[in-house]
Structure 1
Amino acid sequence: MGTALLDRAFTLVLLGLGLFITWGAWNYGLYQNGIPGPGFFPILAGLMMTILAAALLLRDLSGRMRLAGRIDPVVMLAIAAVTGAIVLFVYLAPLTGMGLAAFAVMVGIGYVTEESHRRGRFFLLRLVLVSAGTVVLCHFFFAKVIGTPLVTGPLGF
């Protein structure tokens, strides 16, 4: 697949995903009791995704900085996997909660993007521990320090 076509397709997917995240996060609420609500940060992320994707699309359609060449199929597979993981996160978060969804996506993306010859003996263990630690730190920072209500799943996190 040509680089220009892949760039355009990926930009359109990101544009749609950014709009979907912004629209969906609006239902969680921007503010609650004077503090950022559970939809505040997803709305910001969705808006940034939408704005950046629109800028990339305008750049491409204007003819400036159009990409050329071909992309290795292995790289395309990794790009598709990362994109799929982001889309999966959007759908998993309301069902499982932000913590489990973020953990699953971090492990998945970390595994797919690490070159196979660099995966050492304890790679998966380190990846799981770093992902779990990141989720715990983010939960502590956002839920406890800032007081932002987070999207929780049936297990309570």
Structure 2
Amino acid sequence: MKIKSQRDFWSGLMFLGVGVAFAWGATSYTFGDSARPGPGYFPFGLGVLLALLGGFVLFKALTLESEGGDPVGPIAWRPLLLVVAAVVVFGLALPRLGLACTLPLTILVASLASDEFRWRDVLVSSLVLTVGSWALFILGLKLNIPLWPIYLAV
């Protein structure tokens, strides 16, 4: 069997692997039912959908010919590491710095991954996403997420 598109092959394989891992990991939680889903319901469904998407992309890579074989290029390490760092910063900073400080910091770190970095875009994104997240998660859903740093909380 010949791989017709390396990019689609490896991305399909990655989606399939991650989807199967999430679906398998979700089986250790209770599922509940459609009216009252348990903690395993959503991750299992999402894992299955991701695995199906990966299978479709993998099938396409093995059957449809693409010009030049669509080779995999070099790994863009800087953007990859900065986006992963942004996720880590969010996870570590949210309980200590609160939503109002953590989101702009996360957006700044993730924005540094782009070659088209502009301060104006970072500031606008930070403002819109912070206000939107506050309105949705704290006001709307009443989640217990700190808004301000723990040393400023009243």
Q: Aligned-pair distance for 1:126?
A: 3.6
**Alpha-carbon distance between aligned partners in 2 of 1:143 and 1:28, rounded to the nearest angstrom:** 25
Q: Aligned-pair distance for 1:132?
A: 8.6
Greater radius of gyration (CA): 2
* TM-score, normalisation: structure 1: 0.52
Q: Aligned-pair distance for 1:119?
A: 2.9
**Alpha-carbon distance between aligned partners in 2 of 1:48 and 1:9, rounded to the nearest angstrom:** 18
In structure 2, list runs of 5 or more residues that go unmatched: 96-101, 144-154
Cα RMSD (Å): 4.5
Asked which structure has the greater RCO (Cα within 8 Å, sep 6+), the reply is 1
Pair 1:63-2:61 in alignment: no
1:81-92 superposed matches below 5 A: 81=80, 85=84
Structure 2 counterpart of 1:28: 29
* Helix, strand or coil at the partner of 2:48: helix
**Alpha-carbon distance between aligned partners in 1 of 2:137 and 2:113, rounded to the nearest angstrom:** 23
Q: Aligned-pair distance for 1:54?
A: 0.4
CA contact (8 A) 1:60 1:66 kept: no
Are the structure 2 counterparts of residues 126 and 21 from structure 1 closer, same or farther at C-alpha, using a change threshold of 3 Å? Answer: same
Cα deviation code 1:108-155 (max 9, x no counterpart): 7x82696333431561684487279549836887898xxxxxxxxxxx
In structure 1, list runs of 5 or more residues that go unmatched: 97-102, 145-157
Taking only the aligned residue pairs, the percentage that are identical comes to: 21
Q: Aligned-pair distance for 1:52?
A: 0.7
